[in-house]
Amino acid sequence: MRVEIEGGRRQILSGKLGSTTAQFEGGNPFTLDPEQRSSGWQARLRLAGGGAALSLAGEVEAEEQQGKAAIGGRVSLRFGL
């Protein structure tokens, strides 16, 4: 069995998103303002084990950006002949 832990920070070094103004045919113009982006953390935990004929792995990940957290995961099963 193998355990992996990964963590870090996603840092915005430079750059800026600008506003976009659009108009549908016959409509009024409107402006889309981007969110003020911010840096955030991320972490991942993986577990994997098995042999040549069969292996099982699982992963859970979390990321924080804009003051909100997102959590995801996946499981994989591999057969070999």
pLDDT digits 0-9 by tens, 25-55: 999 999 988 877 788 999 999 999 998 899 9
Q: Which residue has the higher pLDDT, 73 or 39?
A: 73
Q: Residue 4, Cα to own-chain centre: how many angstroms?
A: 18
Tokens of 37: 């982006």
The candidate with the shortest Cα–Cα distance to 65, out of 27, 36, 28, is 36
For Cα atoms 73, 75, 79, give the angle at the middle one, nearest 5 degrees. Answer: 160
| pLDDT of amino acid 33 | 84
The candidate with the shortest Cα–Cα distance to 45, out of 59, 62, 57, 55, is 59
* End-to-end C-alpha distance for the chain, whole angstroms: 20
Mean pLDDT (whole number) for 17-25: 91
Mean pLDDT (the chain) is 91
